[in-house]
Amino acid sequence: MPFEEDEYVFLVGDDSKRHWVKVSYGMIKISSLGTIDGSKFREADDGSTIKVAGAEFTVFRPGTTDLIASLERGAQIVVPKDAASVIMNCDIKCGDKVLEIGAGSGALTTALIRAVAPHGSVHTVELREEFALRALKNIKRTGLDKHWSYQIGDAKTVDIDLRADALVMDMPDPWIAIENLSKNLRPGGRICAYVPNMNQLGSTVTVLRDRGFFDVRAAELMEREIEVHHGGVRPSFQTLGHTGYLIFGRKRT
* Percent of the chain topping pLDDT 90: 63
- Is 70 exceeded by the pLDDT of residue 9? yes
* pLDDT tens per residue across span 146-168: 999 999 999 999 999 999 999 99
Convert the pLDDT of each residue in 28-47 to its tens digit. 888 778 788 888 888 888 99
pLDDT, tens digit, 9 for 90 and up, residues 75-99: 678 889 999 999 999 999 999 999 9
Which is it for the CA torsion 27, 68, 44, 140, positive or negative? negative
Please state, rounded to an integer, the average pLDDT across all residues of the chain: 91
Q: Are strands 34-37 and 245-250 parallel, antiparallel or unpaired?
A: unpaired
- Percent with pLDDT over 70 in the chain: 98
Band of pLDDT at residue 55, cut at 50, 70 and 90 = confident
pLDDT tens, 94-123? 999 999 999 988 999 999 999 999 999 999
What are the E-state strand segments in the chain?
8-12, 18-22, 27-30, 34-37, 49-52, 55-60, 97-101, 121-126, 148-152, 164-169, 185-195, 214-219, 223-229, 232-240, 245-250
pTM, to two decimals: 0.86
Q: Are 246 and 219 spatial neighbours (Cβ–Cβ below 8 Å)?
A: yes
Q: Does residue 240 register a pLDDT over 70?
A: no
